[in-house]
Amino acid sequence: MLIAPIPASDHSRLQDLHSYNILDTPEEREFNDLAELVAEICACPISCITFVDQYRLWFKATRNLLEKECSRTNSICGHTILSHEVLVVTDASKDPRFFDNPNVTGPLKISFYAGAPILSSSGFALGTVCTMDRSPRILTPGQIKSLVTIARQVSLLLDLRLKNKEVADTAASLIQAEKQIAQINIKSREEQNFKTANLLREDIAQSTAAVKLYMNFAKNSKGVSGQFLDGGITELEKLVKSITRLSRSITPTTVARDNYAAHIEKLAHDFARDRAVTLQFGCEADQGYLTGHKGLLMFRIVEDMLRIANYSGSTSVSLNISSEGGLALRFTFNETKKISTAERVMLDSNIATKVAILRGDMQNKDDLPGRQHFIQITFAAAFKKMNPAENAAKPSDRSGL
């Protein structure tokens, strides 16, 4: 018996085969149908779709063959994968390579064999589509061509399975990322709700109770009511400041046409002061670019940028806003710790959404020398400035404190 030699490229071939994750998988109708089709076209009782592993042949689909695998050493398919051509053995009992093969002399009593290699997209023969009979026979050219065509269809099925798995894995990763983003959003919202509730309970409620107490003292006292009224006024002033602080935690201003340049600058300087961050800040934008709704969106964009810098453990931040030829915002920060993918995706998405509302363009450049990161947002000249005359707030605009 002539044993098929192991080719020098077999290690790479096996890596390619294993990358498809096809071995030891359950039966699939698509492969079973092709195995049936081979037997019908070639008018043979036995057919199989087999993959050649390191030491075994594993059958993905069979017709009239009970075994799920056999030894590679004794296999005829081991010879088939040595080339890209169809191997036809008309009468194995008279073939010097196979006359004493256990599959020929044993219970199977194989006489006729025809196999076409299953070629991967990388060019490796991963296995065979083969058909067998217990009597000698000859295939027509049309049958041989059909055998090659079916082997090609098996190759396409393998690629399709792999792509489907990649899509499923990607979808699972996206779903997981969305869950993490949702969790972060919920956590952030709950933290803000807690802070707001704490302000309401500790500052505003206590100040209101103190005012009530002073007013009651003033009502029931003679000659010292002024002292208690002064105390009440002081507590009311504290209450106003608390409400103002709470309002600004939601939005920095309630004046509809306010200019946000000063608010953005204060936001950046407060961030740098509170976190001991070195800040380079510059704002040379015309007043009209940072007014009203557009200004608020720019303020929110800068908030998200500073959150990215905070999560990245930045020690140095640069923020520059200019309006030459259209509004441009350039933000650079260094990284001392790796921000989680979910947090970065969420914040980048938040920024991109706001930029899209303003019809701008956003560019990210990560992993620059010195672990620097760069975000640039530009708006064309069509980013219309408001008329300076419109910037003067009307009485109805000043609904806030």
Positive or negative, the Cα torsion across 21, 25, 30, 32? positive
Range 131-136, long-range pairs (CB < 8 A, 24+ positions): 131/38, 131/39, 131/42, 131/44, 131/46, 131/47, 132/44, 132/45, 132/46, 132/47, 132/108, 133/44, 133/45, 133/46, 134/45, 134/108, 134/109, 134/110, 135/111, 136/90, 136/91, 136/111, 136/112
* pTM confidence score: 0.50
Q: Quick one: fold of 10-163?
A: Beta-Lactamase (3.30.450)
Give me the residue label for tokens 């408001």.
Answer: 386
Q: Are 119 and 148 in contact (CB under 8 A)?
A: no
What is residue 388's predicted lDDT score, i.e. its pLDDT? 41
Q: Quote the tokens at residue 17.
A: 């085969």
How many Å apart are CA 213 and CA 229, to the nearest integer?
10
What is residue 111's predicted lDDT score, i.e. its pLDDT? 95
| All residues at 6 or more sequence positions from 61 whose CB lies less than 8 Å from its CB, including other chains | 27, 28, 31, 32, 34, 35, 48, 49
**DSSP letters of 77-133?**
HHHHTTSSS-EEES-GGG-TTTTT-HHHHSTT---EEEEEEEE-TTS-EEEEEEEEE
Per-residue confidence in pLDDT tens, the chain, 401 aa: 788 899 899 999 999 999 999 999 999 999 999 999 999 999 999 999 999 999 999 999 999 998 899 999 989 999 999 999 999 999 999 999 999 999 999 988 999 999 999 999 999 999 999 999 999 999 999 999 999 999 999 999 999 998 988 888 888 888 887 777 766 766 666 566 666 666 666 666 677 777 777 777 776 776 656 666 677 777 777 776 776 666 666 667 666 677 888 889 999 999 999 999 999 999 888 767 788 778 888 888 898 899 999 998 999 999 999 887 778 889 999 988 888 877 888 888 888 888 887 888 888 887 677 778 888 888 775 555 544 443 443 433 333 32
Give me the residue label for tokens 């309006």.
Answer: 323
| All residues at 6 or more sequence positions from 336 whose CB lies less than 8 Å from its CB, including other chains | 312, 313, 314, 315, 371
How many other CB atoms sit within 10 Å of the CB of residue 209? Answer: 11
How many Å apart are CA 330 and CA 345, to the nearest integer?
19
Residue 378's DSSP bridge partners are: 328, 361
Residue 42: Cβ-neighbour burial (10 angstroms; 0-12, 13-18, 19+): buried
Q: Quote the tokens at residue 370.
A: 């010195």
Enumerate the H helices of 109-260 as residue ranges. 141-198, 205-220, 225-250
How many Å apart are CA 45 and CA 49, to the nearest integer?
14
Length of the chain (residues): 401
What is residue 396's predicted lDDT score, i.e. its pLDDT? 36
Q: Residue 95 to residues 90, 131, 381: CA-CA distances in angstroms? A: 8, 17, 82
Please tell me the CATH superfamily of domain 261-397, with its number.
Histidine kinase-like ATPase, C-terminal domain (3.30.565.10)
What is residue 234's predicted lDDT score, i.e. its pLDDT? 76
How many Å apart are CA 252 and CA 125, to the nearest integer?
67
What is residue 233's predicted lDDT score, i.e. its pLDDT? 72
What is residue 174's predicted lDDT score, i.e. its pLDDT? 82
